[in-house]
Amino acid sequence: MYSKEQKEMNIKKLIITNPLFPPIVRFGFALPHSRFPLIVLLLALISIPCQKTSRPILAKVNDEVILVDDFLKDLPKGQEIETEDAVLNRYQKHLNQLIDRRLFIQAAKAMGLKSEVKNSFELNKRTLLIQKFYSKAIMEKARATPKAIRKLYEILPTAVHLRLILVATEDDARLVCDQLKANVPFETCAFKFSQHPSGKNGGDVGFGKLAFLPEPIRHTVEDLKPGMVSQPIPTDDGFAIVQLLAKKTEPVGSLAQEENAIRSFLEQQKVKELHRQLFAQLNSRLVYNHKALQVFFKPIEQITDAEKELWVCKKDDTLLVKVKSLLHIAESFNPAIDTALRIYAIKREIEDDLLYEEAKRLGLDKDPKVLDELNKIMDELLYQAYYNKTISNQITVSDQAILDYYNKERANYPGGWNESVKNLIKNRLATEAKSRAQADLALKLREKAQIEINERLLKSLVRKEKR
């Protein structure tokens, strides 16, 4: 979405993701270094009057402030050996970037660009609230206790050698058990029936730590003796049948040395369990109309007006969503995508709507920290919209300019002229043009702005780093 040169710049990136949800939003905005010195409109030693806050204020840009916390958060690191003047120059350059960025955002608001980024903001807000709800409902509850960690540590020395058969249904598992009771070798059944990758190796998964087997498989294996075969074990992936081949004891580190690995395993398992419970609870409230779901098997242009009015899903016996409100999801479908993935995408959109509703029900959209994050998201969107409208979209590079540059710098292109070289030069010239345009625009905005800088505080931060 963004060019290589943007990614290489010293920019602030905001990434909203969730490890168990498909990534929905990712954006980062370029903020090239300004070539202009700081503008100080008041005496350096005068403190800056501003809105009430307990956090130190480094600068004021019109009616908005730049806090020390925000300044230090993304401050570029310097060299290992750096003079005080070099540190001050680095700090001033960074502060210049923040001031220019704040001016761009203010100009975007004055231009009325909030309405242009409204839809993107709402999508980001939805994503953020889902993430916060997920964290509250799952991640915070998944923390491993010291007691659970110690319990798992006690069996950590035990390693087990297993064979595994994994099948989809309980009926399949019974069929496998009947085969095993008829003295068909375990490895033959694994090769024939198992959906696990180890099936091609007769189900042999090798030696592994007993402690790191997922429940309820671990509990079952603890009760087996070498050569024994378990009954079917229900798992999230189907039904497992295991055979214990051998047990042995291996050396392990101290509890302090092994604690992080144990905690990570326990919390991953707990997250998976809580995730399953949450979505089972959500889906118990949903009723899907399979006729309406099949509408999404068609190309979007073939969906009729009558089909657009079909209801896709009801929540708690209340109409939740119609086909027409999910067309934006259908528009993203690749023609080659299969029907199962289409239905999955539609259902995920509906589930996300429920998560969003739950987040708002808990008041997460009014949480001060969330509101602060939402303000930052809006700032990012406004900055990008203004940058695109006033700079990026105004820059064009002619073929003649590209050719002139190539002829001038021909020695730097030993491979000669080709399409790749042309694109490389075009990108370079565009980047340089954007940088100049941004610097010029920043200067114009600064000429009309009231900018105040607490030079005493800035220098004290420099001295603090040098100490």
Quick check: helix, strand or coil at residue 205?
Answer: strand
CA dihedral sign of residues 246, 247, 248, 254:
positive
Q: Yes or no: say if 267 and 249 are a contact pair by the CB < 8 Å rule.
A: no
Quick count: other Cβ atoms within 10 Å of Cβ 388?
Answer: 14
Q: What percent of the chain is predicted at pLDDT more than 90?
A: 76
- Which one has a higher pLDDT value, 18 or 458? 458
- Calculate the dihedral angle through the C-alpha atoms of 133, 293, 335, 302, rounding to the nearest 10 degrees: -130
- pLDDT at position 1 is 37
Neighbours of 244 (CB within 10 A): 21
- Quote the DSSP letter at residue 249: E
Residue 269 in tokens: 């398992």
Question: Mean pLDDT, to the nearest integer, of 298-318?
Answer: 90
pLDDT-wise least confident of 28-42, 139-153, 361-375: 28-42
Strands 286-288 and 238-249: unpaired
Average pLDDT over residues 219-226: 95
Is 80 exceeded by the pLDDT of residue 8? no
Mean pLDDT across the stretch 359-381? Answer: 96
Whether the pLDDT of residue 38 is over 90: the answer is: no
Facing residues of 28 across strands? 13
Q: Which of 301, 288, 305, 295 is nearest to 348 (CA)?
A: 288
Q: What is the pLDDT of residue 9?
A: 35
Q: Which residues pair with 242 in a beta bridge?
A: 164
Alpha helix (H) ranges present in 201-296?
217-222, 255-283, 290-293
Q: Are strands 238-249 and 318-322 parallel, antiparallel or unpaired?
A: unpaired
Percentage of the chain modeled with pLDDT above 70 = 88
Choice among 6-10, 129-133, 140-144, 168-172 with the minimum mean pLDDT: 6-10
- Tens of pLDDT along 186-221? 999 999 999 999 999 999 999 999 999 998 999 999
274 vs 338: which has the higher pLDDT: 274
DSSP-assigned beta bridge partners for residue 160: 208, 247
Q: Which residues of 257-268 are buried (b: 16+ CB within 10 A; e: fewer)?
A: ebbebbbebbee
Of the candidates 460, 404, 463, the one whose C-alpha atom is nearest the C-alpha of residue 429 is: 404
| Residue 285 phi, psi dihedral angles, 5° rounding | -95, 0
| Position 371 pLDDT exceeds 90 | yes
**What value does the mean pLDDT take over residues 430-454?**
96
Burial of 204 (0-12, 13-18, 19+ CB in 10 A): middle
Distance CA 20, CA 99 (A): 37
* Residue 288 identity: Y
Distance CA 63, CA 247 (A): 70
Residue 334 has pLDDT above 90, yes or no: no
Q: How many residues does the chain have?
A: 467
| Mean pLDDT value across residues 225-248 | 94
- For 391-441, what is each residue's pLDDT tens digit? 999 999 999 999 999 999 999 999 999 999 999 999 999 999 999 999 999
What domains appear along the chain, each with residue ranges and CATH number?
Answer: 157-251 (3.10.50.40), 282-365 (no CATH)
pLDDT band at 335 (very low <50, low <70, confident <90, very high): confident
Interval 160-164 mean pLDDT? 96
Distance CA 201, CA 191 (A): 7
As a whole number of Å, the CA-based R_g of the chain is 30
Mean pLDDT, residues 162-188 taken together:
96
Give, in degrees to the nearest 5, the angle at Cα 173 between 167 and 175.
120
Q: Which residues have CB under 8 Å from 169's CB, separation 6+?
A: 238, 239
Out of 137-146, 160-169, 186-195, 314-323, pick the least confident.
314-323
pLDDT recorded at residue 54: 57
Average pLDDT across the chain, whole number? 87
pLDDT of 259 reads 96
H/E element, 399: helix 399-408
For residues 307 and 325, what is the distance between their CA atoms, to the nearest angstrom?
12
Per DSSP, helices labelled H in 138-185 are 146-154, 170-181
